[in-house]
Structure 1
């Protein structure tokens, strides 16, 4: 098996262990056992457990954002694209709640472990990067400028999605959660400023 394939297998095994048993129990030995590999392979593929955890964060983030990117690349006006992307995000939450719970566990784990704090900072920097990318893509496709700075909107959107997801993990009230997302879409539309002037 190529080194790239081994890395992919270990990342997948790490996510399965974390979803099933929690982040604290996802030791290197537990991960290689899940992947059916000897312990030495782990150290061949990753410099540290922290590097693997960063790859897990990236994988979970990219997985949830890929569908949203595809939605924005499709047809429809700004309102429908925003609504559809939030719907797609929510479908991902309900289909893979364990992965989203792992995301929160990784944050708290990193903040509690000396030397791992940077992992949490990179995790949320990645979230903001994705949100900023989607907001700028939405503005470009609709030919508008946001009435608030994109970094602020990205942080706002991340805070809303974090809150509604965590709340749903606790009470599993899908109806109310979707109503919150609809309210968020409506609020974002009020921040869609004047059309971008055409050049010339």
Structure 2
């Protein structure tokens, strides 16, 4: 049997999804977010246009899936770093430092994440997608805080939801700052100050 007449290997929907996400990431890398269309993704993956619609439906679902995959890839090392510490300050500092380290190692990947997130937030009239993107990160950080405090017997002075929102805001700000801080010294000083303040705020009874 010649190569041209070999049967196509069946691909599960999960495998096809990963293939299309790989293609979508390459499209964004090469052509920017404006070039991220379902047809461009299909062309890059070498599949029929209808395959992308079958797997993801609308373009916005594709963007959301890219954000989710980025979160699943980036969060494990951050959470593992926090788990090495039994005090809140140490855990927060290790987690934030690890995240900033990832940003410094792969700045383009995290700029892509930021750009995608901004696109989602700027989608006119799509409140559902905006909320889904926000909830993705908030739920992951909240779950991590709940697990860490439960295993260490630490009681926070603020609700977990508020603590998670504060951590996300802190990380977002420092990540952006690190892009314009080549040696990282200023970002590290800011991290030390902000983490110390947040850890104190979450454990000091007023």
TM-score for both structures, normalised by structure 2: 0.81
Distance change (3 Å), C-alpha of 1:20 and 1:176:
farther
Match of 1:85 in 2: 95
Deviates more, 1:104-113 or 1:45-54: 104-113
Q: Report the count of equivalent residues.
A: 193
Say if 2:69 is the partner of 1:51: no
1:114-149 CA deviation, whole Å, 9 max, x = no partner?
343322221111111122122222212321111222
Q: Is the 8 A contact 1:15 1:99 kept in 2?
A: no
Distance change (3 Å), C-alpha of 1:97 and 1:21:
farther
Task: Mark the structure with the bigger radius of gyration.
Answer: 2
Distance change (3 Å), C-alpha of 1:148 and 1:116:
same
Match of 1:134 in 2: 144
Distance 1:108 1:87 in 2: 23
Which residue of the other structure, out of 116, 119, 125, is the alignment partner of 1:106?
116
Match of 1:42 in 2: 52
* SS across alignment from 1:157: helix
Q: CA deviation at 1:7?
A: 0.5
Say which structure, 1 or 2, has more relative contact order (CA 8 Å, 6+ apart).
1
Distance 1:4 1:135 in 2: 30
Say if 2:72 is the partner of 1:62: yes
- Aligned runs of 1:1-200 on 2, under 5 Å? 1-73=11-83, 75-78=84-87, 79-172=89-182, 174-193=184-203
Q: CA deviation at 1:58?
A: 0.8
Q: CA deviation at 1:184?
A: 2.9
Q: Is the 8 A contact 1:106 1:120 kept in 2?
A: no
Distance 2:179 2:42 in 1: 29
Distance 2:85 2:22 in 1: 35
Distance 1:192 1:143 in 2: 14
Distance 2:102 2:152 in 1: 25
**After the TM superposition, which parts of structure 1 deviate over 4 Å for at least 4 consecutive aligned residues?**
170-173
1:1-29 CA deviation, whole Å, 9 max, x = no partner?
22211101111221222233322211112
Question: Aligned-pair RMSD on alpha carbons?
Answer: 2.2
